[in-house]
Amino acid sequence: MDPFTFNTSASIRFGAGLLSKLGDIVKDHIGNRILLVTDPGMLTTDIVDRSLEALKSSGVEATLYSNVRADPPEEIVLEATEVAIECGAEAIVGLGGGSSLDVAKLVALLAYGNEKLEQVYGVGNAKGPRLPLILVPTTAGTGSEVTPISIVTTGTNEKMGVVSPVILPDIALLDPELTLGLPAHITAATGIDAMVHAIEAFASANPNNNPISRNLATEALRLMGASLEKAVHNGTDINARSDMLLGSMLAGQAFANSPVAAVHALAYPLGGHFHIPHGLSNALVLPHVLSFNTKVAPKPYAEIAPYAFPELAKLENQERAEAFCKAMAALSERCGLQQTLREMNIPQDMLPRLASDAMNQSRLLVNNPRKLSEADALSIYQAAW
């Protein structure tokens, strides 16, 4: 067996209704004065008020930062960091979707005062230390609560990552009740995103692809393959919501250690240029990247197919891998997601620019099980258009 490294969050707490314990958990483990990082959409729910009340009732002083937006730009990270410094935050709590959790990670790092944002982009450049950190996801998709990754939009449309175990949180707090109010379209997009994490982690060509990640990925696909449609079409099904949240976390642990590849590399330019939500961007290119990969590397996809779609077990090898591509596309369509780039009003003459930008994601492309050129990327975008 090849040597590997596996890192994840120090403590994971899972349970319906766990948000009510947030104040006690914060007070006991990370401090008495915190910055709560979230986004404007969360303010339209009662989750932020409930969080603040739980903190207040435990004697925790909380300052709210709620300006996070999707594909967070550098200025949001820096603004939130300034708020943390000004309020004297001893610790950071991130609450919301992947963008809020990603910002919270970087605020915990930068507010400590040892490092600047421009110094920590890339793999292993963030050295820490950081402020104590708790992450509370409200979507079942990104797995950000257990990943050492934060994605930031730089300039107008380029995305860069901070990748370091230093930004793994002290505690990931998962309460499936927080996902009950998610609209069907967001449930679908984030759910497909989480399944992509598991798929790419399992098939990753990264040298750190390891038995732990592969086992987590298969269990994640087993849970989410059986529960995504239930969660989309019956959003109050707490069992389906629980399976999706747990599956998303397991997939997050998998790809945090066995990194994702070309699906994400081709999805990022869609978010950068057209502000398409990340999960939907992944869903739009997924079947076409899988089809490209399975032509020369069918084995990993044939192996994982029956976990998500048990009926595919009767097929073998190449046929099973190809059926898996079609099954993922059909699942996306049944969940109500758009299926083509033209449905997202992306002009066809923009495809060469997207392909060129995708090639900048070399950190991800090296993990793809099939080598992918700019011409290949263009062909995939054309197939998705």
CATH code at position 345 = 1.20.1090.10
In one letter, which amino acid is 179? Answer: T
Counting the structural domains of the chain, the total is: 2
Question: Which tokens sit at 152?
Answer: 């930031």
Judged against a pLDDT cut of 90, whether residue 167 lies above it is answered with yes
Q: How many CA atoms lie within 13 A of 368 on its CB side?
A: 28
Average model confidence (pLDDT) across the chain: 95
Q: Helix, strand, coil proportions of the chain in percent (round to 5)?
A: 60, 10, 30
Dist CA 363 CA 379 (whole Å): 21
CATH code at position 144 = 3.40.50.1970
- Does this model's pTM top 0.85? My answer is yes
Q: Are 309 and 328 in contact (CB under 8 A)?
A: no
pLDDT of residue 154: 86
Give the tens place of pLDDT for each residue, 112-137: 988 999 999 998 999 989 999 999 99
Question: Which tokens sit at 61?
Answer: 């002083």
Question: Which tokens sit at 99?
Answer: 């963008």
Domain membership flag for residue 143: yes
Residue 209 phi, psi (nearest 5): -60, 125
Domain membership flag for residue 2: no
Three-class SS state of 61? strand
Give the tens place of pLDDT for each residue, 3-22: 999 999 999 999 999 999 99
Judged against a pLDDT cut of 80, whether residue 157 lies above it is answered with no
Residues 23, 58: one domain?
Answer: yes
Q: What angle is formed at CA 19 by the lines to CA 18 and CA 23, rounded to 5 degrees?
A: 110
Three-class SS state of 368? coil
Dist CA 244 CA 223 (whole Å): 7
Dist CA 152 CA 377 (whole Å): 23
Question: DSSP secondary-structure letter at 91?
Answer: E
Judged against a pLDDT cut of 90, whether residue 155 lies above it is answered with no
Residues 207, 241: one domain?
Answer: yes
* pLDDT band (50, 70, 90) for residue 158: confident
Write b or e for each residue in 100-109: b if 16 or more Cβ atoms lie within 10 A of its Cβ, otherwise e. bbbbbbbbbb
- Residue range of the domain that includes 245: 184-384
pLDDT of residue 39: 96
CA 353 and chain centroid, separation = 25
Give the tens place of pLDDT for each residue, 32-62: 999 999 999 999 999 999 999 999 999 999 9
Domain membership flag for residue 1: no
Residues 198, 211: one domain?
Answer: yes
Residues 160, 192: one domain?
Answer: no
Residues 123, 72: one domain?
Answer: yes
Domain membership flag for residue 5: no
Domain membership flag for residue 61: yes
Residues 195, 175: one domain?
Answer: no
Residue 289 phi, psi (nearest 5): -70, -40
Residues 92, 66: one domain?
Answer: yes
Of 209, 251, 210, 212, which is closest to residue 228 (Cα–Cα)? 251
Q: How many CA atoms lie within 13 A of 11 on its CB side?
A: 11
Three-class SS state of 132? coil
In one letter, which amino acid is 340? Answer: T
Give the tens place of pLDDT for each residue, 238-297: 999 999 999 999 999 999 999 999 999 999 999 888 989 888 999 999 999 999 999 999
Residues 38, 80: one domain?
Answer: yes
- Region 141-154: mean pLDDT is 92
Residues 240, 108: one domain?
Answer: no
pLDDT of residue 32: 93
Place of tokens 């596309």: 329
Residues 99, 225: one domain?
Answer: no
Domain-ending residue, one of 122, 146, 179: 179
Three-class SS state of 189? helix
In one letter, which amino acid is 50? Answer: R
Domain-ending residue, one of 179, 199, 230: 179
Domain membership flag for residue 354: yes
Q: Which of 65-74, 111-120, 215-224 has the highest mean pLDDT?
A: 215-224
Residues 338, 238: one domain?
Answer: yes
Of 162, 166, 200, which is closest to residue 289 (Cα–Cα)? 200
Judged against a pLDDT cut of 90, whether residue 328 lies above it is answered with yes
pLDDT of residue 161: 87
Place of tokens 């730089």: 154
Domain membership flag for residue 147: yes
Three-class SS state of 291? helix
Q: Are 163 and 296 in contact (CB under 8 A)?
A: no
Of 165, 137, 202, 176, which is closest to residue 9 (Cα–Cα)? 165
Residues 326, 286: one domain?
Answer: yes
pLDDT of residue 270: 94
Domain-ending residue, one of 136, 161, 179: 179
